[in-house]
Amino acid sequence: MRSLQAKQFMTIKKGAVLVIDIRRESDYDSSEDVIPGAAWKDPEKVEEWMGSLPTEEPVIVYCVRGGGISNSVVDKLQANNVDARFIEGGIEGLKEAGGLVERK
């Protein structure tokens, strides 16, 4: 499975997965919102940080709309044995579905 619908993500128990914000730096900087508990990682440098991710727990990534960036990062993570998925629709889709976000 490569992705989760926003409603599926909303049912995951907090702390059961590692959530990573992979929006481009400019998108992250210009946004006021984040998913609670998410850590920002530069998607352009995925090769540098992916080795520090756990392989024993799921990793959920998100970008703005759940498109090319999410797919590219998930491809790289899965190729390195990380149980990675992305949120369909990204943070915007999560907000539209009524998902919890917070101010930075």
Question: What is the pLDDT averaged over residues 46-55?
Answer: 94
> In the numeric block, which tokens belong to residue 81?
């044995």
pLDDT at 38: 96
Please tell me the pTM assigned to this model: 0.94
Give the pLDDT band (50/70/90) at residue 54.
confident
Q: Could you give all domains of the chain from N- to C-terminal order, each with its CATH number?
A: 3-103 (3.40.250.10)
Residue 59 near residue 73 (C-beta atoms within 8 A): no
Alpha carbon of 83 to those of 18, 64, 75, 76, 95: distances in Å? 10, 21, 11, 11, 24
> In the numeric block, which tokens belong to residue 55?
């392989």
Q: How many CB atoms lie within 10 A of CB 68?
A: 10
